[in-house]
Structure 1
Amino acid sequence: MKLLIRLSLVLAVLTLISSCKKSKQRINEQPDNNGSAIIAYFNWSGVQRVNSNIKFTNASKNADTYKWDFGNGQTSAKHTPDDVKFTAAGAYTITLVAGKGDNKAVYQQTIAIAGNEMPAAYFSYTFKDQRNYAPATVLFKNESVNADFYKWQINGNTYNSTDLQHTFNQAGDYIVKLTAIKGQDENTFTDTITVAPNNNPIARFALPYHPYPYTVNEPIQLVNQSTNADAWEWTFSNGAPASSTAEHPEVKFGAPGVYTITLIAKKGSLKSAPRSINIKIN
């Protein structure tokens, strides 16, 4: 997305393709103690090919700490990180956490990295008018590389356009597949679109890529992906802290074991169903 972030690896390869894709996937803003907004954001440039240098430019505002996770096991705490090389083909979700004091904002973007001459498939999406409940129109942005033709598959229907707009009339989880085709070679990326039944809050969260498992007393950054929510209730079984109302909290666990992290998203008097994951600590 993904440890539990959705990271569908794209076993792709590609010729030299120089691009600078800046499609926004998630921007969060948090007010700091002085009332100004913390904005996490970055741009990137480089050739989307294995072992090429990718340069990340920090465009965050009102923050003084930064945590980068590049989706390949590399991290950085610099304002402007060193260039990153991806040594294997795949779709990598880059996470930047910008902070000031206890307030944090998160921005994520996924890029496809390939090598040689085979296509690499990837797409991002947004809900039109930010309406994620039925009927919901989804705008799919094709971010594949080194392909000549494309095939989308949704609910048994096939579309052959580059980008795609699709309306989901019923609530539910929908599997969307994009196949990038070049000659006889093809590669497929798959993601799941969740359409809510109404405008009530929905709890979702994930963790940036990390070589698992986590270790005792290691700070674990949570990335809140809830929708239609303006408040959050976290609980951490035997964690430090035991609970939090921050949007993107950090948690540590002081002993080896398997622990449960639970999030409830809130909007006014409305509460979402709890969303939980189990995490292993060595």
Structure 2
Amino acid sequence: MKKTLLLFLLIAFTSCYQETSIAIEGDFTTSYANLDESIPVIIKIDNKITGADAYEWTFEGGNPSVSNLKNPGEILYSKQGTFTIKLKASNVDGESREFTKTVVIKDGINIEFTHEIVKSNYSPVEVILKNTTIGEGLTFKWEFQDGSPASFTGKTPPNVVFTTPGEHVITLTVSNGFESEKQTKTITVAPYLVSLFTYEPKFEDDDYEAPVTINFTNKSISATSYKWSFEGGNPAVSTEENPTVVFTNAGSHEVTLEAFNDKTSHIYKTTITVLPDTNLRILTNIKLGINSAHNNNNIGAMFSTVTRQVYKANEINDQNSSLIDIVFQGLNSNFTYNKFVSPDQANNYGFLSLKNAQSTIFVNSQNLCNCGLNFTEAQFDAMVNDTPVKSLNISYTAGGAQEFGFTYPRIILFKTQDGRKGAIKIKDMVKNGTSSYILCDIKVQKQ
């Protein structure tokens, strides 16, 4: 009876028992590697699902695109967009669940833009901008230093105008919502156009006596072409950058330079005063050393009325020796024996010979020449043109060539090889040992 009862209970228990299935629970998460949301992007998968023993992953737009691993690890995305990650998890009990998430991949930023200057970089400068930056979902912010407009939001800005000379920075900031990048370019605006010039007469015309040849030096800024006008000049007009002009007549002459570039023009004017021709060159405070001063290269004893320079022994060469027309001989520092001698006779008076030397006639002692000459210091001081010396009969005589002693002021007359007449006034005789010298003014015909 007991056995029958136990068997009955066992059958009843077994018939009441039903098997329980394992549930699939949890979820998976995604994260951006290095917090970088711009392509290329790596998405990290962290699978926290339990109760599954089979996994079917699908990664839209990703690499790899599918996986059967529980933890597929890192997925690479190389294109911008919004992509779906799907997981189907299942187990041997026939349980199955699907999980879905989306990831947003933002475009990387690679800024590309160019600029083109319209016409030239002379003010005002107009700039065309071309934005070739590639990408979706990008925003663009432009800044134009001292430009008009000063800023712009959008991919392609209008043309920008820069007026102020100098460097101006164009800045483009591009953002994808996660990060921003900047790129700059510099526009250089040339200085404002300025018309300006200087001028200088030829060396022989530096007294501005007619006729005067003047060299003009163009100092204009930001100019590409020029238009000159010369009142009373020859030529009267010119388009050269640096012209040379002759003014024949005395008076005031207006000179105008209009400078141009491809944007504008500017005018500069000045007046040049040409003096009447005196045909007289006036040279003041000329120091001429005694022989020892010259030969020791302290103070020269030789002078050229052409170059208007004093020459010491070591300054004389084959190029300037033929231009020397005055030679002073001073035998000692006490000035007991002095005379002016012809350059072609210099070697007879304690100097080296001069190559291609000139022949100049000197009247050292008018009172001894017996030639009717009596040109006074007062006449020298009053002489403002060559009229007083034109009629002088300056010729060589032994008496006129005689030396003189320590006496000043004194007038010495001379005539150069090319026929120019002149006078020397000794104003002082400075005793300074071997560096002694005379101080004189010279007035000589220019031609």
The answer, yes or no, to whether TM exceeds 0.5 is no
Q: More helix by proportion, 1 or 2?
A: 2
> Is the radius of gyration larger for structure 1 or structure 2?
2
Q: More strand by proportion, 1 or 2?
A: 1
**What's the TM-score, normalizing by structure 2?**
0.20
Report 1 or 2 for greater relative contact order, CA contacts < 8 Å, sequence distance ≥ 6.
Answer: 1
**What's the TM-score, normalizing by structure 1?**
0.31
